[in-house]
Amino acid sequence: MEENTMKNWRAYRNYGVYLVTDRELCLGRPLDEVVLAAVRGGAGAVQLREKHADSREFLALARALVSRLQPMGIPLIVNDRADIALAAGAAGLHVGQSDLPPEDARRLMGENAIIGLSVETREELLAAEKLDIDYVGISPVFATPTKTDTLAPWGLDGLRWAREHSPLTLVAIGGIHRENAAAVLEAGAHSLAVVSEICSADSPEEAARGLKALFR
């Protein structure tokens, strides 16, 4: 909680390559090893997403990543659980449309925390403008096997529409890999969020570096 209240993470502007974790996709490697390799390769933000861990394990994972990442200036953003984020002193919280409402997330996390919100439709994107959040996750840009509970993909055209119609920072997620990433940036994404492209890469560091090189 101390980290969180002391530092204004909302001034952070270097999401760039944004790693979203999935331990099951890490090919048996420890999560912190994969995360630190990604950061060496240039990842600028890390979201800890745990859908099956119990609260105690989730907190232990969050604390371990906060202690490694945040002294380097890299924000650890916790998925869904504001209590875990607060207890771990994480820089931010990412919520989906079925998670804590963004207003409650902001109230709990405080004025200095990064709050991100997934938007799956144009209506959700436009509605997000009124919220006190720091970025939207445009989800999914492409169809992906990682998340199966999402609506129709935005596609590059949808992303272009989003950039034209919203002033918010756009973090594109879903099916992004080395080959299509340049097109995603060209279509208007400010940041590239990836799961398997880094977690399941032979070299998470090189995978991150490859994506990072696409940013000017």
Pattern 169-198, binding to a second copy, x per CB under 8 A?
------------------------------
DSSP 26: S
106 is catalytic: no
- Tell me how many residues contact a second copy (CB under 8 A): 22
147 is catalytic: yes
Crossing angle of helices 31-40 and 55-69, rounded to 10°: 30
User: Is the Cβ–Cβ distance between 108 and 87 less than 8 Å?
Assistant: no
Q: Could you give the CA distance from residue 93 to residue 61 in angstroms, rounded to a whole number? A: 15
Q: Which two tokens stand for residue 75?
A: 């924000």
Considering only residues 32 to 61 of the shown chain, the ones binding a second copy according to CB under 8 A are: 54-57, 59
User: 3-state secondary structure string, 194-208?
Assistant: ECHHHHCCCCHHHHH
Considering only residues 67 to 126 of the shown chain, the ones binding a second copy according to CB under 8 A are: 80-84, 86-87, 95, 97-101, 104, 107-108
* 118, 166, 196, 200: the active-site residue: 118
Interface ranges with a second copy (CB under 8 A): 1, 54-57, 59, 80-84, 86-87, 95, 97-101, 104, 107-108
